[in-house]
């Protein structure tokens, strides 16, 4: 069910490499290769929501990728470990808010050529401008499925009636936040850009959590299967469109509702 014509008519052995690998993803840092499963698949979404993040190390013979700045790689690797630890062990709102401040301070250090980790400490309170501007921005992105825009607009219409997050979903949202940090944060070793990748985690956690809340309001239930299905749809529309990812990266700097202060406000900080 849901398999492409190549798979059903010719067999798995005729799939191209991209289709064979999907939903797996890989990133190369010199002689280090990282991999995982992407959220844009029903089964991998279930796996991501079901388990805390963990890594395993293997020695393999592989083609090497571009070598990053060694000092920056070491700094970001340690920073990612610290962020993931706090996301998994602190109340979600506190961890996300402090993560945003941490990223701002880390970005300043990197920009100044100071490869040192900042203190894990919340700096300022946020100002909640509401989720509606964020959702309205999402409707302006290029959709892969036209039903996605309709889904977002329905959630905009009930924004005054629906909480941003439900406590029953917190464990899943922790895992969503960790997924985005693990997958995207280390890409900063090639361009020194940290803040937009941390905001991607915060915004994705925010929007997915709100979609779950809307689902519960509209249908009376948003259990594990509904959470996995909606998270998969979000990933398909945002992660698997380079155009949308690039647009978001720019908007994170340009739009006031994507400022760290506005995002912290929506995480009750």
- Could you read off the pLDDT of 67-80 as tens digits, one per residue? 777 899 999 999 99
What's the CA gap between 147 and 157, in Å, rounded?
16
Residue 260 lies in a domain: yes
Whole-angstrom CA distances from 165 to 105, 172, 259, 261 are 27, 11, 20, 18
**128: pLDDT confidence band, cut at 50, 70 and 90?**
confident
How far apart (Å, rounded) are the C-alpha atoms in residues 201 and 196?
Answer: 9
- Tell me, yes or no, whether 242 lies in a domain: yes
Q: Is the pLDDT of residue 29 over 80?
A: yes
Tell me whether residue 205 is exposed, middle or buried, using C-beta atoms within 10 angstroms of its C-beta: 0 to 12, 13 to 18, 19 or more. buried
113 assigned to some structural domain:
yes
Residue 253 covered by a domain:
yes
- Which structural domain, as residue segments, surrounds residue 160? 70-266
Residue 91 lies in a domain: yes
Is 42 inside any structural domain?
A: no
The angle formed by the CA atoms of residues 226, 227 and 230, to the nearest 5 degrees, is 85
The partner residues of 27 in beta bridges, in order of sequence, read 34
Residue 58 confidence (pLDDT): 58
Q: How confident is the model at residue 257 (pLDDT cuts 50, 70, 90)?
A: very high
Residue 5: pLDDT band with limits 50, 70, 90: very low
Supply the pLDDT for residue 14: 38
* Domain count across the chain: 1
Residue 126's pLDDT is 73
Rounded Cα distance between 106 and 119, Å, is: 9
- What pLDDT score was predicted for residue 12? 47
Residue 51 in domain: no
Among 268, 259, 266, smallest CA distance to 101 is for 259
Q: Is residue 8 part of a domain?
A: no
């Amino acid at each position: 069910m849901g398999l492409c014509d190549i798979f059903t008519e010719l067999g798995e052995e005729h799939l191209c490499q991209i289709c064979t690998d999907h939903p797996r993803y890989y990133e190369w840092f010199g002689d280090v290769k990282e991999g995982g499963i992407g959220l844009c698949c029903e089964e991998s979404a279930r796996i991501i929501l079901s388990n805390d993040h963990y890594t395993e190390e293997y020695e393999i013979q592989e083609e090497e990728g571009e070598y990053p700045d060694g000092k920056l790689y070491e700094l970001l690797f340690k920073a990612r470990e610290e962020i993931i630890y706090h996301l998994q062990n602190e109340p979600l709102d506190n961890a996300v808010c402090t993560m945003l401040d941490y990223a701002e301070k880390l970005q300043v250090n990197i920009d100044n050529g100071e490869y040192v980790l900042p203190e894990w400490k919340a700096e300022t309170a946020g100002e909640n401008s509401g989720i509606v501007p964020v959702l309205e921005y999402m409707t302006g992105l290029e959709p892969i499925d036209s039903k996605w825009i309709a889904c977002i607009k329905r959630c905009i219409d009930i924004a005054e009636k629906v909480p941003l997050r439900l406590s029953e979903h917190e464990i899943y949202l922790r895992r969503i936040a960790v997924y985005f940090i693990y997958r995207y944060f280390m890409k900063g070793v090639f361009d020194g850009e940290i803040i937009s990748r941390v905001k991607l985690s915060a915004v994705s956690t925010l929007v997915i959590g709100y979609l779950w809340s809307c689902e519960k309001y509209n249908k009376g239930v948003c259990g594990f299967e509904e959470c996995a299905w909606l998270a998969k749809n979000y990933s398909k529309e945002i992660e698997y469109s380079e155009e949308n990812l690039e647009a978001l990266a720019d908007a994170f700097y340009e739009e006031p509702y994507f400022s760290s202060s506005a995002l912290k406000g929506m995480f009750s900080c």
